[in-house]
Amino acid sequence: METINDYIESIFTNPDSQLDDVLASIEENDMRQISVPPASGKLLTMLATMSGARRVLEIGALGGYSGICLARGMAEGGTLTSLELIEDYANLAKSNLTKAGFGDRVTYMTGPALESLEQLAGRGETFDFFFIDADKENYENYLEACIRIAESGALIVCDNVLARGTVADESAEPTRNTEIMKTFNKTVANHPKLESLLIPVGDGLTVSIVK
């Protein structure tokens, strides 16, 4: 899987100084380097563009790498709402999106994402594009919360669903998320309100259309 991803990135991605600066800022702030890989980021941009995303919700900001990728693909006038548990991470992400020219189009909500999702639902807010890349234990909870505030035809994209390939390779040493992702993938595949497919780019992305 790593060989395939290396090949994809060598052919389909280009050097990106803006995103490289984000990765450098994450390292400078002693944060984990767990941003989406370049090919996954490019796919996020393409999906947002193809769907004409205008109201995007992100769960898990980290340093703003995926936020920039999403913002690049938003329709003119589109906005990004990003949920991040840790305030310092949200501040760094905000700084990086501002440097990238998207500062006036992004809003950060800090604290537990499920609480933020409840607040958004309580205000009657809806979204047409979602990206989930946070604590895996809550993926199913995040999914259901997103469906409740999704517009018809919205896209929901979830990252790390292959758990480093261990969901499919029984000979591989399982990670702490292997069984969680196996269960989650089955939930997504069979959810009555979703039409879904798993795309094996990066650590795997499920892409779902809300019916």
Domain at 2-210, CATH class: alpha beta
Does 1 have pLDDT greater than 80?
no
pLDDT tens per residue, range 117-166: 999 999 999 999 999 999 999 999 999 999 999 999 999 999 999 999 99
The rounded mean pLDDT for the chain is: 97
Q: Tell which phi-psi region holds residue 163, choosing left (phi > 0), alpha (psi between -120 and 50) or beta.
A: left
For the ranges 32-36, 101-105, 111-115, 132-136, the lowest mean pLDDT is seen at 32-36
Record the pTM: 0.96
DSSP calls for 49-109: HHHT-SEEEEE--TTSHHHHHHHHHSPTT-EEEEEES-HHHHHHHHHHHHHTT-GGGEEEE
Does 50 have pLDDT greater than 90?
yes
Q: How open is the CA angle 70-85-93, to the nearest 5 degrees?
A: 40
Res 113: pLDDT: 99
Residues 6+ apart with CB under 8 A from 116: 83, 109
Looking at the chain, the whole-number percentage of residues with pLDDT higher than 90 is 94
Neighbours of 51 (CB within 10 A): 18
